[in-house]
A and B are shown apart, each in its own frame.
Chain A
């Protein structure tokens, strides 16, 4: 079946540091890939997405590139802020048109950014 594996957390950084959160997946064909973010006490929000190989999703200074050859979708940001402290989830939906939006999530990575 489909699965998503994220790097172990938590991740603690100083403000303006470079961020990488690794994500790899197992799925047949070409799934759509997503990063969701969960701020404290809130539900998840879509951060960015990519729907085909070599696509780069970007939003709010975050980027991730769909790498089919390494089955990866790593999240990066060049300079993190305290307000980026949250839990980040990598997720996928299967290839094809009948997924009904059902997401398979990774386990989540807690990011804490200190001033």
Chain B
């Protein structure tokens, strides 16, 4: 299994509070991604990174920011959480940035 660790695994927070989710990899892969999974929508790309300090927006980036200060860590921040951001968040990594993504086990986030 690819070495991907997401933390926390579960979090409950209140509307308006900031939240940071962490993805840590031990594979030294260049590409990292944050997806959210919602019923009826499958997985949707929030942000991705193609190198240290190189990030770009995905399909549903509003309300989210990311940072990647070193190869192994990719942080997703909700500046002011809203109930619509209640979801399961998955981090993924890719070596070549082409076809095969490896996914973490997910973070269940509930915003009350």
Contact = CB atoms under 8 A, between A and B. Distances in A.
Given A43-B104, A51-B99, A101 B33 contact: yes
A78 to B, nearest CB: 25
Interface string A72-104: 000000000000000001000100000111111
Interface in A37-84: 41-46, 49, 51
A107 B98 contact: no
Interface residues of A, number: 24
B58 A102 contact: yes
30 contacts: A34-B99, A41-B105, A43-B4, A43-B90, A43-B92, A43-B104, A43-B105, A44-B43, A44-B90, A44-B92, A44-B101, A46-B101, A51-B99, A89-B43, A93-B98, A100-B31, A100-B48, A100-B50, A100-B97, A101-B33, A101-B48, A101-B99, A102-B33, A102-B45, A102-B58, A103-B43, A103-B45, A104-B45, A107-B42, A108-B42
